[in-house]
Amino acid sequence: MMTMILSETNCYDIQAVNVMLICLHIFNYVTMILAFLKVNDVFFFPAMKGYRLTNLGYDYLALNQFFKSEQLESLGTMIGAGKESDVYIAAAGARCGRSSDGSEGLLFDFPNEGDSVVVKFHRLGRTSFRKVKEKRDYHQHRSSCSWLYLDRLASRREFVMMQSLRSNGIAVPIPYTHNRNAVVMSYIADSLPLYRILPSILNSNESAFARSLYYQAKNILERIASLGLVHGDLNEFNLMVSDLDPKENTEISNPKLVLIDFPQMISRDHKLANT
């Protein structure tokens, strides 16, 4: 009887040791992965014990989803960086703009596989939370909030806003899809930001070009107002002039003003609409 008890005890001890060895192996493997992620700036190690996802890690998660769903084929170089976003050129995937149920993007043209598109990563963390709280309403009046979560809300808001503006005839990029903090939209070829247009062009032909842009900008604001919205921050940095001569910034074939950024757009009934 005593021999049987000792035998069973040894069996249990061996099982316990095996479980501990497996747990130790898993722990070492996870530690090795986290160390690799830390070296590549995907995770941040705060003073307290634990891990926090970085902006770069959040970008990777969004890109992984874009590639898995064939929204994107590849990511290219950065073509713009602002106070609240980074913008990259990319190649469209086979299903860019199409959702799994076929319901997304029905109002707009789809890009062909390999066509140039734009990926915009929101970076609200570059500004203070106080400024975001003053000028944005999608934080739901929270006293504190994760920057990554605010980036996600900003991405969703921009995508929905672009769909609405585009379907109402306002010149904005075509919204294809969004995930986490990233929005995929159409690439505006042969274009420049308004602030980079040479004064000599604006003043040419008795300022005919400048007048054309003025009336287009006025029309954009009027159309936005007709939807019950206020842009809040219209300036030369969030307007693109398309159909420029691709070789020289000296000729305009058919100038068209395109609105590319509207993070502070709010309802006319909003308390900040008149400020």
The total domain count for the chain is 3
User: If pLDDT is split at 50, 70 and 90, which confidence band does 6 have?
Assistant: very low
pLDDT > 70? residue 100: no
Name the pairing type of β-strands 52-53 and 72-81. unpaired
Between 218 and 107, the higher pLDDT residue = 218
Spatial distance between the Cα atoms of 37 and 60, rounded to a whole number of angstroms: 12
For residues 82 and 198, state if they share a domain: no
> What's the pLDDT at 92?
97
pLDDT > 90? residue 21: no
Between 50 and 212, the higher pLDDT residue = 212
User: If pLDDT is split at 50, 70 and 90, which confidence band does 34 have?
Assistant: confident
User: If pLDDT is split at 50, 70 and 90, which confidence band does 3 have?
Assistant: very low
Residues 60/97, Cβ–Cβ less than 8 Å: no
Q: What average pLDDT does range 62-85 have in this prediction? A: 93
For residues 172 and 196, state if they share a domain: no
Q: What average pLDDT does range 37-59 have in this prediction? A: 75
For residues 197 and 170, state if they share a domain: no
For residues 124 and 219, state if they share a domain: no
CATH number at residue 238: 1.10.510.10
Active-site residue, 245 included: no
Q: What average pLDDT does range 55-68 have in this prediction? A: 94
Residues 59/75, Cβ–Cβ less than 8 Å: no
> What's the pLDDT at 2?
40
- Residue 61 corresponds to which tokens in the numbers above? 């998660």
Q: What average pLDDT does range 256-268 have in this prediction? A: 83
pTM: 0.74
CATH number at residue 122: 3.30.200.20
For residues 76 and 115, state if they share a domain: yes
Which residues are CB-contacts of 2 (< 8 A; sequence separation ≥ 6)?
Answer: none
pLDDT > 70? residue 249: no
Residues 71/95, Cβ–Cβ less than 8 Å: yes
Which structural domain, as residue segments, surrounds residue 254?
192-267
Catalytic annotation, pick one of 137, 233, 243, 269: 233
Residues 258/264, Cβ–Cβ less than 8 Å: no
Spatial distance between the Cα atoms of 225 and 217, rounded to a whole number of angstroms: 12
Write the DSSP assignment of the chain as a string of letters. -HHHHHHHHHHHHHHHHHHHHHHHHHHHHHHHHHHHHHHTTSEE--SSSS-EE-HHHHHHHHHHHHHHTTSEEEEEEEEEE-SSEEEEEEEE-TTTT--TTS-TTTTSPPPPTT-EEEEEEE-GGGS-HHHHHHH--TTTT-SS--HHHHHHHHHHHHHHHHHHHHHTT---PPEEEEETTEEEEE---S-EEGGGS-HHHHTHHHHHHHHHHHHHHHHHHHHHHHTTEE-S---TTSEEEEEE-SS-TT-EEEEEEEE---TT-EETTSTTTT-
For residues 95 and 116, state if they share a domain: yes
For residues 224 and 169, state if they share a domain: no
For residues 101 and 142, state if they share a domain: yes
Question: In the predicted model, what is the mean pLDDT of the chain?
Answer: 79
CB atoms within 10 A of CB 111: 19
